[in-house]
Amino acid sequence: MRAKRSILNLSFGLGSQLITIFLGFFIPRLIMVNYGSEANGLIASIVQIISYLALLEAGVGAASLQALYKPIAQNDRSHINSILAATSSYYKKTGVYYFFAVVLIAIVYPLVIHSEINKLSIMFIILLTGLGGAINYYFQGKFRILLIAEGKSYIETSIVTAANVLNNVVRIILLLQGVNIIAVQASFFVLTLLQIVVFYVYMKKNYKWIDLSLKPDFAAIGQKNSVLVHEISYLVFRNTDVLILTLLTNLKIVSIYVMYNMIFTIVDNVVQTVNGSMKSALGQSYHESKEAFLKLYDAFEVYFMGLIFAILTVAYILILPFMRLYTAGVTDVNYINFWLPVLFVAIKLLTNVRTSANNVITIAGHFQKTQNRSILESAINLIASIVFVLFLGIYGVLLGTIAALLYRSIDIVIYANKVLLDRSPWVTFKRWFTNIGVFLVIIAVTTTMNMNITSYIELIVWGAVLGIVILPIYYLISSLMEKSVFLYAWDHFKGYRAKLKRKVNSGSKVSV
């Protein structure tokens, strides 16, 4: 059951990412061509600022998720309802804060930003960008957490993907028609409301047993404030760079950052989709058998890390050829920069290779015990980024983030291995160094190749070829270095395949 749900989560998640990537590529270019780089930078900065409001959910969302793993594993619906009742109470209370925060940002932001765009237009763009999220947060947040904890995130993914496809298609049509940018954002707001309705209908039909009238178990989500500290750190890395560049440079520099970050955010989304598809299985396994969990964890870390390095290797090789194609005809600022891919890849490697270790801390509920480390990480990032940006511009915010990540990523691996897994952190660090060595060799080899990419078709072909070659290289070397992990993963795969074959032959139906 868990294996099947993990595969469904992965399949739907990756499918959603591919669709979103394909459609999402059109919109920034259309905005740059039709409205200029400043408009592209403005919308990106607004989206990043609005995303800070996710802090309202951050603590209770992760705390509720961790609290739900055990009762779900035991099929204890009474306890699940008690946790959801507590979660719902918190979401409703903070949902009101979310709404007023969007309104406040809409009023203040146009007054502090330097832009040639009309201030009233900026205000309406912020309102239309943020209010849909506020309504979604208020009504649906608790149900989304339940689906993720159950390993059914593919349900939410399906609804969100359908809404995103419709939203992107409508926005592309409006942009091609040269419609006012406010109308473009209005379409986003309307379709967000439609998504909420569909989600509500699904939950009412398939989760009739949910009863939020039970006594809320606030103790179960008692660590929400400690979780919040960790989520602040995460949001700092995702969003502070844009905010600092917006305030201390200009919107054209923001646009350059956003264009490179767009590609590497896609990488983030893909690898986190893979992580999310497995996290519920890891979480439930942790509460059942430590020995079984360690085997599953090691297999996940080895092959997940190989996937991260493979995708980022391909992204690094193709990022500049893509940027030349994508920004052709945009002359108000130069988007081609050799050092930006180097710095972005360093950030994404440090961010994602710690994911498996961070999963252990989250699953074990060690939020309060590690919150001071997250505070220090955020402080390093903010201070270093602000200081460096004054002297180095766009490079400064990236170097500030790298400085913080070097500290915290190493710290997370040490803590997870020594405190929670009771073993040496060198188990994980050796995996880092192995993959870094492979990365450097592949980059050295590909730099000698003449890839004269002049079209998107050539770019896609090269991407496919590189992916087909590079991913097996990482997996082969990792398997040779970790034979026991390979044998466990292979046996697990064969067992699942045999089980699936028997079910297909018998014609039985499996509930998901």
Query: What would the pLDDT profile of 72-124 be if each residue is shown by its tens digit?
Result: 877 888 888 888 888 888 777 777 877 888 888 888 888 877 777 778 888 88
Of 222, 249, 268, the residue that ends a domain is 222
Task: Supply the mean pLDDT for the chain.
Answer: 81
Two structure tokens written together for 408 = 């915290």
More confident: 316 or 41: 316
- Is 343 in the same domain as 449? yes
Cα separation, 430 vs 348, whole angstroms: 19
Query: Cβ neighbours of residue 271 under 8 Å, at least 6 residues apart?
Result: 304, 307, 308, 311, 352, 355
**Residue at 236: amino acid letter:** V
- Is 218 in the same domain as 260? no
3-state secondary structure of 75: coil
The answer to whether 21 and 267 are in contact (CB under 8 A) is no
Tell me, yes or no, whether 512 lies in a domain.
no
Residue 27 CB coordination number (10 Å): 18
Does pLDDT of 191 surpass 90? Answer: no
- According to the model, what pLDDT value does residue 364 have? 79
Report which of 129, 118, 201, 221 is spatially closest to residue 167, judged by C-alpha positions: 129
Average pLDDT of the segment spanning 395-419: 92
Tell me, yes or no, whether 13 lies in a domain.
yes
| C-alpha dist (Å) from residue 180 to 108, 113, 171, 488 | 22, 20, 11, 57
- Is 108 in the same domain as 151? yes
Largest Cα span, the chain: 68
Please, how many CA atoms are within 13 Å of residue 117, restricted to the half-sphere of its CB? 24
Tell me, yes or no, whether 62 lies in a domain.
yes
In the 8-state DSSP scheme, what is residue 65? H
Cα separation, 258 vs 278, whole angstroms: 29
- Is 291 in the same domain as 348? yes
Q: State the burial class of residue 338 (Cβ atoms within 10 Å of its Cβ: 0-12, 13-18, 19+).
A: exposed
- The reported pTM is 0.67
More confident: 333 or 15: 333
Where b means 16+ CB within 10 Å and e means fewer, 242-273 reads: bbbbbeebebebbbbbbbbbbbbebbbebbbb
The answer to whether 284 and 73 are in contact (CB under 8 A) is yes
Cα separation, 243 vs 233, whole angstroms: 15
- Is 364 in the same domain as 495? yes
Tell me, yes or no, whether 228 lies in a domain.
no
Report which of 293, 363, 484 is spatially closest to residue 63, judged by C-alpha positions: 363
- Is 193 in the same domain as 252? no
Two structure tokens written together for 457 = 């078709």
pLDDT band at 15 (very low <50, low <70, confident <90, very high): low
Of 222, 250, 274, the residue that ends a domain is 222
Does pLDDT of 235 surpass 70? Answer: no
Cα separation, 35 vs 180, whole angstroms: 10
Cα separation, 230 vs 210, whole angstroms: 29
- Is 208 in the same domain as 312? no
In the 8-state DSSP scheme, what is residue 368? G
The answer to whether 95 and 130 are in contact (CB under 8 A) is no
- Is 194 in the same domain as 247? no
- Is 204 in the same domain as 264? no
- According to the model, what pLDDT value does residue 478 have? 92
Tell me, yes or no, whether 507 lies in a domain.
no
Q: Which helix (H) or strand (E) holds 493?
A: helix 483-506
pLDDT band at 476 (very low <50, low <70, confident <90, very high): very high
Tell me, yes or no, whether 329 lies in a domain.
yes
Cα separation, 181 vs 175, whole angstroms: 8
Residue 460 CB coordination number (10 Å): 12
pLDDT band at 512 (very low <50, low <70, confident <90, very high): very low
Of 222, 255, 283, the residue that ends a domain is 222
- For 186, the domain range is 1-222
The answer to whether 475 and 311 are in contact (CB under 8 A) is no
Query: Cβ neighbours of residue 377 under 8 Å, at least 6 residues apart?
Result: 233, 236, 404, 405, 407, 408
Give the alpha-carbon dihedral of 301, 273, 260, 375, to 10 degrees. -70
- According to the model, what pLDDT value does residue 261 have? 85
Tell me, yes or no, whether 151 lies in a domain.
yes
- Is 22 in the same domain as 132? yes
- Is 131 in the same domain as 4? yes
In the 8-state DSSP scheme, what is residue 331? -
Q: How many domains does the chain have?
A: 2
pLDDT band at 57 (very low <50, low <70, confident <90, very high): low
- Is 186 in the same domain as 246? no
Tell me, yes or no, whether 94 lies in a domain.
yes
